[in-house]
Structure 1
């Protein structure tokens, strides 16, 4: 949501000259783009602990593992750090807040949740900030909970939490105004698949957890890993009403799985509904699967990609296209990660991040036949957590996050946004591993093929909230392991990857 963008942009440009903060205005040209001579980052600003990024006007907000940061992106060639807050809630029992992997902004308010994973004795909750002046965030309230927070959403004054660890792993909705006013009961309502079928209460957490949330025009899209993705009417948070289960297994398929079976399934396709987002007019829904090929020698399986569903009729979603993950010589969890992570659908484009597989942009105005516009990859130096539009048609941002001691650069990058009118015909080739290409449908999470068409798809110690040093990094991609298919084939991903010798 753009909030007073013009006045904020003017103010930030005035600040820019006075802030001597670390930037890299011109990175080497090491990528390619369809229809362009070259494609590479415009700039970057290094921020330790970087995870999720969201954009509002000329400001990007970053989760930084032990806090958050605000970044002026009004000049994409020279993004500048505005403020950092570290060691949040260090004065509270169990504090400071840990594993802050996500942030969301709604107007002049920012929510900062943690921890992303269960941690015995750790403080669980979220801090609400006033960011009317992004260079001087002010804390408004704290919401302590009995559940941990992998991801949240913030829309039209309502905070949406994935209450993982509670029975049924429900969506919990909270009134931000009531929270800011110190109302002791700010909760508005909650919903879980278990409210519709209590058999979900018997399903192991590793294959049934609310990994991510997207809310738009009163509809919540909820990614529940192997339990699939659900659309729920939350226009009245006190009376949420399920609209449709887009896909996923049924509880009898998942209940009673052994610990070994869960440990295997939660890493691999099919299933693994990880991230979900609507496009601008809610005619298109993107579903990302975070998955690996744990047995690459058997010739089956692949890293998770992104599926596009036509949801112009919400109650009747239709799979129209699947994108495979970028190729990798080692698609296992211990190899090079190129599985889908977070993305955005806006302005007729899909902006996608693929960890060490880089970032990509596609023209999805015809979602059944998307056109590749740009891609960039440097698996030695970067691992992208998200890609987000900043000014569609001008530039987008992507955050590079460090996992598992990869020693990549933790930073917010800016990239030029390709012109839709320069789209070229889709000439990508299939990725090895059985992924479908050129718009054919693949199996849904329960293994059935949608629409009857051909093809198979993979599916600082110190004072509280001071500017200080970053904390430790994450231990994995999501909760448990939280930690495709016009495919990005070997031909399409002709990316110049720097080597360590360079």
Structure 2
């Protein structure tokens, strides 16, 4: 979700065992089968399609009750980012999730990634200093802190704040990247919306920051490179852009393939990350129907990329007949290797939910992940108030919705209207970070997706895309 220009200020969230921390704290699916029982275009007058079961909802706790954002996964735990901090859930029983701890540490956005005992948390709303309790300050404050906070979550019930790294323009999103040395890991920091009044965020801002973190000494994490991705300035001239290219909104890396895909406002890009400290842009593509390149996901064989367009910045009703099927949608591109070893993106199709949401429902393509059915391409995705969509894009030129979950009080007055930010498949279930409702857990019962249940991860960061195979 784009930060609110021009101030880029975050919104404001609250549980049973709230933990307020300061910087002084010490460390510490089978083959494609018959689909007769499952509508490929589900009716729009029900909350869920027949192949989706809603198992549980955990309302936002009082201590961290602002806007829910992204999710990360480790073992039997889901970590939910929030504009006021984060919440750790125990999902050993997905039908009965439990809140383990809540960390109050405001900073806007709250994008999260997890690696072992370390949690990385994005801050893109200026604070007086890097302490968790620091108040918000104007963007004109030269000492305002934005960047990445690092926590030790080895004790899930009592996370500890380790350190923070300041980055220019803060961290709207972040992506964890394995380092060349197993003793270190890297964090790609995406930020944008440069401000002439913010001292360390001057335009042009066409770079990312790369933080190196010694795993055994995360307190000494520091920036090791700030590569400029758009030396020629990126896309500023296309009519209808929500924002011109000024950095990247989000980056997804696929370490097994030494590839990254960047969604960079006016541009979609592919990068070679074989030297992860020095990523190289190898392909840039633009789309006349895209207003804001928001996020990206590779297919498991890396032969295609699904990009999303956040038309309206997450605050507009774009899932309407008037807006049409090609704007505020996904764009699917084949990714072909070129003779010189690079990659070329070739447009294949658009996908957008055709469950029209009306002119009062904020609805647009947002965060999702592959459903790990080996050899097949299925995707689960959030659409804000459009709910969650299950997408079959095995035919890149003809993607289609095969299931959905749409908690909408227009449909059922007993259900709180949902606005889901992220929906990801993890170890047999779909977890949705709903900005209003809290955490939702879904079970997919479609036989086409059954093989995904045999793919198991010990850890999952959706923007650090893993390769999968049955029984992993």
Q: TM-score, normalised by structure 2?
A: 0.66
**Structure whose residues are more often strand by fraction:** 2
Describe the shift of the 1:295–1:149 C-alpha distance in structure 2 as closer, same or farther (beyond 3 A): closer
Q: Please state how far the C-alpha of 1:379 moved relative to its aligned partner.
A: 2.9
User: Size of the alignment, in residue pairs?
Assistant: 352
**Structure 2 SS opposite 1:421:** helix
Assess, with a 3 A threshold, how the Cα gap between structure 1 residues 422 and 143 changes in structure 2: closer, same or farther: closer
2:227 aligned partner: 191
Q: Which moved more, 1:148-157 or 1:97-106?
A: 97-106
Report matched runs for 1:214-225 at 5 Å.
214-217=252-255, 218-225=258-265
Conserved 8 A contact 1:194-1:200: no
Deviations 1:381-418 (A, max 9, x none): 21000100111xx31101110xxxxxx42x01000023
Structure 1 residue 84 corresponds to structure 2 residue 102: yes
CA distance in 2, matches of 1:329, 1:134: 39
Secondary structure class of the residue paired with 2:344 = coil
Q: Give CA-to-partner distance per residue, 1:307-327, whole Å, 9 cap, x none.
A: 222225361222233211344
The structure-2 alpha-carbon separation of the partners of 1:422 and 1:297, relative to structure 1 and needing over 3 Å to count, comes to closer
Question: Cα–Cα, structure 1 residues 223 and 116, in superposed 2: closer, same or farther, change >3 Å?
Answer: farther
User: Could you say which residue in structure 2 is the equivalent of 1:206?
Assistant: 243
Equivalent residues in 2 for 1:41-440, closer than 5 Å: 41-47=54-60, 48-49=65-66, 50-86=68-104, 88=105, 97-115=106-124, 120=139, 121=141, 122-156=144-178, 157-164=185-192, 165=194, 166=201, 167-177=204-214, 180-183=217-220, 186-195=222-231, 197-198=232-233, 206-209=243-246, 210-217=248-255, 218-226=258-266, 228-248=267-287, 269-292=289-312, 299=322, 301=324, 304-313=328-337, 315-328=343-356, 330-331=358-359, 335-348=360-373, 349-370=378-399, 372-380=401-409, 381-391=417-427, 394-401=428-435, 408-409=436-437, 411-421=438-448
Deviations 1:138-157 (A, max 9, x none): 22221123322211111211
Q: 1:108 to 1:279 in 2, by over 3 A?
A: farther
Q: TM-score, normalization: structure 1? A: 0.63
Moved more, 281-290 or 308-317: 308-317
Matched position secondary structure for 2:356: coil
Is the CA contact 1:116–1:151 (under 8 Å) kept in the aligned structure 2? no
Give the 3 Å change call, closer, same or farther, for CA 138–116 of structure 1 in structure 2.
same
> Any stretches of 5+ residues in structure 2 without a counterpart?
1-14, 18-44, 127-136, 179-184, 195-200, 410-416, 451-472
SS of the aligned residue for 1:311 comes to: strand
- The alpha-carbon deviation at position 63 of structure 1 amounts to 0.9
Q: 1:295 to 1:178 in 2, by over 3 A?
A: closer
Q: Give distance in 2, aligned partners of 1:296 and 1:102.
A: 25
8 Å contact from structure 2 (residues 319, 364) kept in 1:
no
1:291-338 alpha-carbon deviations (Å, 9 max, x no partner):
14889999555651112222253612222332113443544xxx3112
Would you say the 8 A contact 1:326–1:357 is kept in 2? Answer: no
8 Å Cα contact 1:168/1:201 also seen in 2:
no
Does the 8 A contact of 2:368 with 2:380 survive in 1? yes
User: Contact 1:390–1:397 (CA<8 Å) still a contact in 2?
Assistant: yes
Seen in structure 2, the aligned counterparts of structure 1 residues 158 and 295 have a Cα distance that, compared at 3 Å, is closer
Q: Supply the distance in 2 between the matched residues of 1:179 and 1:279 (Cα, whole angstroms).
A: 33
Query: Aligned equivalents of 1:158 and 1:367: distance in 2?
Result: 32
Counterparts of 1:346 and 1:289, CA distance in 2: 20
1:422 and 1:200 map into 2 onto residues whose CA distance is 38
Q: Does the Cα contact within 8 Å between 2:72 and 2:114 map onto a contact in 1? A: yes
Find the aligned partners of 2:305 and 2:155 in 1 and give their Cα distance. Answer: 33
Greater Cα offset, 320-329 or 71-80: 320-329
Cα deviation code 1:122-141 (max 9, x no counterpart): 42121112223333322222
SS at match of 2:100: strand
User: Alpha carbon RMSD of aligned pairs, Å?
Assistant: 3.4
Instruction: Give the structure 2 partner of residue 32 of structure 1.
Output: 48
* Unaligned stretches of 5+ residues in structure 1: 1-18, 22-28, 89-96, 250-268, 402-407, 424-502
Instruction: Determine helix, strand or coil for the equivalent of 2:158.
Output: coil
CA–CA distance in 2 between the matches of 1:168 and 1:54?
28
Change (3 A) 1:357 1:116: farther
How far apart, CA to CA, are the structure 2 residues paired with 1:78 and 1:115? 33
